[in-house]
């Protein structure tokens, strides 16, 4: 177990002047996260092995690139801000987040979008001294490129790609002859033949003007076999090996039928021929009752090491029940084998391993913030910036938070968790099936409608709120939840327990797969007082909430409008 002092990069402006604890504020002195999964007690990485996933929790759609001996990886964050985390590694196993590519409010505006809109599936690459990230801001501008000389940032403002209108998941390919291409998912030519019928397009890019040029061309219509009505061909990447151009794509949607397929051709403009042994990665053909299942695997990106080894990052999930998972889609790592000129990750009916031999690279020290296996991270809020893994819902609006005097202080805003706004809510990912999130809070509500504490959010319509409030003359700890679009936007009260007034309160949310417990302690040494045990946490699963994210948990404060 390793702890962390909260003092790493976040380019969002934070106000650090001392702020007296006023009636309309709540002060959080620290937040402690501890988590483990059932497999952690059984599956152990031995000497020379690594543990999957390499990034636990809500880290979907990974894209990876190498520059010399350094590797960089990015993932999706949708409408959370700051967005698109940038990770660094030198061994493909030990990853450290070095920044966020979208860290200025004026780069992109997530407006009032749902939490599963915004930035989808970034693709990172490097060429001739410049880093490139291609991405789509869904419902907030379309497809774009941002660039940086240093992957830590700053990253440029978006350069928009209007020719890709209606598409998602763009990526870039730099050919040996100096020409550059963009491939992306887009609507098919003509009318779609069925729900989920999409296509992979290619177009050349002029690097000097950063504009697409020449004709756009369909490389894949529907999928590797249109007669089977394949859905959601997406996440394309092109690379070259042994004279062939390879096109890898995800296919089958993001649920249990997710997969990875590959095609190859003699030109980036096609034509491309599918691998007769597709898919090269999937878990849809395995027994769902197997122990410690990994499912919904796909959306891969490949990288080549200096010694000639091929490796792939990809997303998958680890359910705790019947396709129930609260942690979102996670980042995994596997070697790429080459068979008869085609890449392969898993054979038919082969499970994704939770442990595997490490890449043939010099092993690096464990990262300061653990990303895999069981771990503990404690944020003391004693720096002048939050660590880069902390995020808020949508772009920051107004002066509602402070980092000062060793604490995170939030103003009570008239913005709720269902308001599609920017609530006073800083959050970190739930990264394990079994986790406890504990904080110490200084807060005294003056009137009904004022509340502060912790919130666990999966979407604008699916969340659980654990707060200290006033009920007449009494001080109470309350648990409220919203479970679906038809439920009241303010949530439904699940539990309310009288609490003894104190100078400070410890509050704890404990996740146990599909059940959540809520406890409070009135004072630093007081015994824990149960508020609600065994609440239905499946409302925070992707299956019930929909969307593409994982549960985010952290300090929250609000007041009635």
Catalytic residues: 61, 234
Angstrom distance (rounded) from CA 329 to CA 311: 19
DSSP E strands in 40-194: the ranges are 49-51, 63-67, 70-74, 80-81, 83-89, 96-102, 118-127, 130-138, 142-148, 159-160, 168-174, 180-186
Contacts of 489 (CB under 8 A, 6+ apart): 416, 418, 419, 482
Give the per-residue SS3 of 75-111: CCCECEECEEEEEEECCCCCCEEEEEEECCCCCCCCC
Running DSSP on this structure, what letter comes out for residue 444? -
Helix (H, G, I), strand (E, B) or coil at 446: coil
CA distance 121 to 134: 9
State how beta strands 234-241 and 211-221 pair: unpaired
Number of neighbouring beta carbons within 10 Å of residue 91? 18
- Start-to-end CA distance of the chain, whole Å, equals 42
DSSP conformation class of 560: -
> Nearest 5°: phi and psi at 38?
-55, -35
Spatial separation of the C-alpha atoms in residues 185 and 204, rounded to whole Å: 15
Structure token pair of residue 282: 């999937």
Cα(189)–Cα(199) distance, rounded to whole angstroms?
8
**Separation between Cα atoms, residue 377 and residue 175, nearest integer Å:** 43
- Neighbouring C-beta atoms of residue 307, cutoff 10 Å: 8
- The sign of the torsion formed by the CA atoms of 44, 48, 52, 53 equals positive
Give how far Cα 77 sits from Cα of 97, 119, 136, 329, 375, Å: 14, 6, 11, 11, 22
Torsion angle in degrees (nearest 10) through CA of 280, 286, 290, 293: 40
CA distances from 30 to 10, 212, 377, 499 (A): 18, 48, 11, 21
> 56: part of which helix (H) or strand (E)?
none
Neighbouring-strand partners of residue 556: 425, 453
Residue 162 DSSP code = G
Residue 135, burial from CB neighbour count under 10 angstroms (0-12, 13-18, 19+): buried
Under 8 Å CB-to-CB from 557, ≥6 apart: which residues? 25, 26, 410, 411, 412, 413, 424, 425, 443, 451, 452
Q: Which positions ≥6 away from 22 have C-beta within 8 Å?
A: none
Closest CA to 540 of 551, 553, 554: 551
Question: Of 292, 120, 147, 278, whose CA–CA distance to 207 is shortest?
Answer: 147
- In sequence order, what are the beta bridge partners of 31? 379, 439
């Amino acid at each position: 177990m390793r702890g962390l002092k909260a003092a790493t990069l976040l380019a969002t402006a934070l106000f650090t002047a001392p702020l007296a604890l006023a009636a309309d504020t709540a002060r959080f002195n620290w937040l402690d996260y501890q988590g483990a999964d059932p497999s952690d007690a059984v599956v152990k990485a031995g000497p020379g092995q690594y543990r999957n996933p390499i990034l636990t929790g809500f880290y979907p759609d990974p894209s990876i690139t190498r520059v010399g001996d350094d590797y960089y990886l990015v993932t999706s964050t949708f409408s959370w801000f700051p967005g698109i985390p940038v990770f660094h590694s030198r061994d493909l196993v030990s990853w450290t987040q070095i920044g966020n590519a979208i860290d200025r409010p004026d780069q992109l505006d997530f407006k009032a979008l749902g939490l599963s809109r915004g930035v989808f599936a970034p693709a990172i690459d490097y060429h001739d001294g410049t880093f490139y990230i291609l991405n789509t801001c869904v419902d907030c501008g379309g497809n774009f490129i941002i660039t940086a000389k240093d992957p830590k940032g700053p990253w440029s403002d978006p350069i928009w790609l209007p020719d890709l209108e209606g598409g998602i998941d763009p990526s870039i390919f730099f050919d040996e002859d100096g020409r550059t291409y963009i491939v992306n998912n887009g609507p098919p030519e003509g009318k779609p033949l069925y729900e989920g019928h999409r296509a992979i397009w290619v177009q050349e890019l002029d690097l000097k003007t950063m504009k697409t040029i020449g004709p756009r061309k369909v490389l894949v219509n529907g999928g590797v076999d249109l007669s089977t009505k394949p859905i959601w061909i997406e996440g394309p990447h092109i690379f070259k090996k042994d004279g062939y151009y390879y096109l890898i794509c995800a296919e089958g949607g993001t649920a249990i039928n997710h997969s990875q397929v590959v095609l190859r051709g003699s030109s980036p403009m096609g034509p491309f021929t599918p691998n007769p042994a597709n898919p090269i990665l999937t878990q849809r053909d395995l027994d769902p009752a197997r122990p410690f299942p990994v499912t919904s695997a796909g959306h891969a990106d490949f990288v080549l090491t200096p010694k000639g080894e091929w490796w792939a990052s990809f997303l998958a999930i680890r359910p705790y029940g019947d396709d129930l998972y609260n942690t979102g889609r996670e980042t995994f790592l596997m070697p790429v084998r080459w068979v008869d000129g085609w890449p392969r990750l898993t054979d038919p009916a082969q499970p994704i391993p939770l442990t595997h031999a490490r890449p043939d690279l010099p092993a690096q020290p464990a990262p300061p913030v653990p990303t895999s296996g069981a771990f503990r991270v404690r944020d003391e809020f004693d720096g002048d910036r939050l660590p880069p893994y902390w995020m808020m819902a949508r772009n920051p609006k107004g002066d509602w938070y402070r980092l000062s005097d060793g604490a995170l202080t939030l103003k009570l805003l008239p913005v709720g968790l269902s308001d599609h706004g920017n609530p006073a809510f800083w959050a970190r990912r739930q990264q394990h099936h079994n986790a406890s999130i504990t904080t110490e809070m200084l807060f005294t509500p003056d009137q009904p409608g004022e509340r502060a504490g912790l919130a666990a959010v999966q979407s604008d319509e699916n969340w659980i709120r654990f707060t200290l409030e006033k009920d007449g003359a009494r001080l109470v700890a309350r648990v409220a939840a919203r479970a679906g679009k038809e439920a009241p936007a303010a949530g439904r009260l699940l539990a309310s327990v009288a609490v003894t007034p104190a100078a400070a309160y410890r509050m704890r949310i404990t996740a146990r797969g599909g059940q959540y417990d809520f406890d409070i302690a009135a004072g630093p040494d007081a015994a824990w007082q149960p508020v609600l045990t065994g609440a239905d946490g499946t409302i925070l699963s992707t299956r019930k909430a929909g969307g593409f994210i994982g549960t985010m948990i952290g300090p929250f404060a609000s007041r009635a409008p």
